[in-house]
Amino acid sequence: MDVVVCASIAAIEWLVLLVLGGVFQLGYATPKTALILFSLQYGLIKFYRVFLYHRYVSPFRHLPGPTNNHFFFGQAINFIKCKSPPELYLNWMKEFPEAPVIRYLTFANTEVLVCNSLNAFKDVLQTRCYAFHKPVRWRRMMVEITGKGVLSLEGEEHRQHRKMLTGAFSTPNVRKLDPVFRYKTKELGDVLDSAIGTGDSTVIDCTEVFSKATLDIIGITVLGVELTNLKSISTKDQKRDKGKRYKAKKDYTFHEAYEVIFSQSLIGKILFFANAFVPTRWLPLEANREFAFATNWLREVLLELIRERHNKIDQARLSGKYESVKKDSRDLLSYIIEESMPGGPAENIAEENFLGHLLQFMAAGHATSADTLTWSLYTMATNQEIQKQVRDEIADLAIRKPDMPFSDIDNLPYLNNFIKEVLRLYAPSTSHHREAGEDMVIDGVFVPKGTTFDIIPAMPMLNPAIWGDNAEEADPTRWDRLTPDQASPFAFEAFSNGPRMCIGKIYAMMEIKIILVELVQRFRFFSVDKPFTIENPGFALRPNGLEVRLERVNA
């Protein structure tokens, strides 16, 4: 927009000079003059926007926020230096506990508002949900990973696609996946038992183990194919490949692709987030080549699967042998294809939307479950009393009902409390981003069109003003005595809230519960005296190098 405005003004000025030059016999109206006029005006307006506007003119200049800003990058460098993605936001939340929204500056002193009160979260996520949309810079960053699926669609298009997907993720349909969850969970338990072998225990990298396990489950439930990642789980005695993370396409795997995407090098992360503001993907760097290979591989493999499944279903329908996917709740891909057939609610859905839905659910779905399971084992390993209560409750159910129906697992009170507490302490998603599509008021603060908001799930879930002075301590029993503020849906943002709430919540909770029940019955978990880090920057709270020691329960 600034370029257009400056170019227009420069053109008008040049025409004036051209007219005056003709009258007074002046030679100022040359192409060089036009370029100088444009450059001067563009430089002045950028200087105003970057160095003056946020300080002297912005309607947000009086809002509370950090003051230790870099003169050009604002808080961008501080975000990179943090130990975890939500660290700065949590510091600001504690510094300004009464503020409904907090303002900070990022690249080129761009202003960003952060929801801080429960009312602000409610206004953005529910009351005015469709008055917001994804910021342009978010789209530039994420389009290579997410495609054009329900996560990135807006307005009426989002409503239509979410309605189409709701049936696939309804409670009755997800419950039909119980045998798949149990089969893959038993396979995971057997792999870990084999890793212990004849010894007393083994140490596992939780992130690697659960990432592969949840990808295998998603392979069957979303794509309808076996991915067999569990067969390649490594233990402390096996060396992991730290070299170049791409190779021949036929030998590549989904796990390797997502490792590249979610565990980029520092240079890769900087390039990824900088791409939101200025193009960086064209730079001839190894990190860019690695990232491009992974994202292109994912797209090519998924597009091939989409086309093959579409042809298979079309042929079955023509021969009269096709049975509706809704009868047995087969994989999500088959479900979407069926919905897109003539007369279906998503008739003529574009192939890019097929691809987007799959890309988004595979990325978000396996990361959410894998990270929550990792933090669950970590919590039990570092708090043996909590582990004992989880195990005792599961053991009691196993005695009463050896087949352990999921309806009974789903109603275990302490297990429910434990999982909610893990999600509260370690929010799987670190941030959501919105841009106001119109002028509005958010919890008493006037917000003009174009304002960017950061929504940080950890802020209400770790707020001492809501959860008490022990907000950062694991206490599953707190869920039995909630205060009115704690009981607010906007105090618990693990799956977001409102019309854009995570569509896979029921799926994720069922998967997590079944896996934990299997593992808690078979193993004890102990902490390992080894530091770990959290991927930063990142959109998921993903630990790197978090290890836990396993022992058999009956050993």
- At residue 450, the pLDDT reads 94
pTM: 0.90
How many CB atoms are closer than 10 A to CB 329? 20
The secondary structure element, H or E, covering residue 291 is helix 286-318
Which listed CATH number (3.40.50.1820, 1.10.3430.10, 1.10.630.10, 1.10.10.10) goes with 145-552?
1.10.630.10
Q: 295-330: per-residue pLDDT in tens?
A: 888 888 888 888 888 888 888 878 877 676 555 656
How many CB atoms are closer than 10 A to CB 115? 29
Retrieve residue 421's tokens: 């507490």
- At residue 90, the pLDDT reads 98
Strand pairing category for 452-455 and 111-115: parallel
Q: What string of DSSP letters covers 176-240?
A: TTHHHHHHHHHHHHHHHHHHHTTSS-EEEEHHHHHHHHHHHHHIIIIISS----GGG--BTTSPP
Contacts of residue 27, defined as CB under 8 A and 6 or more positions apart, other chains included, come to 21
Q: What does each of the 555 residues of the chain score in pLDDT, given as a tens digit?
A: 666 666 676 677 656 666 555 444 445 556 677 677 777 877 888 888 899 999 999 999 999 999 999 999 999 999 989 999 999 999 999 999 999 999 999 999 999 999 999 999 999 999 999 999 988 888 777 777 777 878 888 888 888 888 888 888 889 889 988 999 999 999 999 999 999 988 889 999 999 999 999 999 998 988 888 887 776 665 554 444 444 555 555 578 888 888 888 777 878 888 887 887 788 888 888 888 988 898 888 888 888 888 888 888 888 878 877 676 555 656 788 888 877 776 666 666 777 887 888 888 888 888 889 999 999 999 999 999 999 999 999 999 999 999 999 999 999 999 999 999 999 999 999 999 999 999 999 999 999 999 999 999 999 999 999 999 999 999 999 999 999 999 999 999 999 999 999 889 999 999 999 999 999 999 999 999 999 999 988 888 999 999 999 999 985
Distance CA 494, CA 369 (A): 12
Distance CA 218, CA 332 (A): 9
Q: How many residues does the chain have?
A: 555
- At residue 358, the pLDDT reads 84
241: DSSP letter: P
Q: What's the N-to-C CA distance of the chain in angstroms? A: 68
**Domain spans of the chain?**
1-56, 145-552
- At residue 260, the pLDDT reads 84
How many CB atoms are closer than 10 A to CB 190? 12
Q: 413-438: per-residue pLDDT in tens?
A: 999 999 999 999 999 999 999 999 99
Distance CA 229, CA 214 (A): 9
- At residue 238, the pLDDT reads 45
Reduce the DSSP state of residue 103 to 3 states and report it. Answer: strand
- At residue 336, the pLDDT reads 80
Torsion sign (Cα): 329, 334, 339, 342: negative
- At residue 514, the pLDDT reads 97
- At residue 242, the pLDDT reads 46
- At residue 6, the pLDDT reads 63
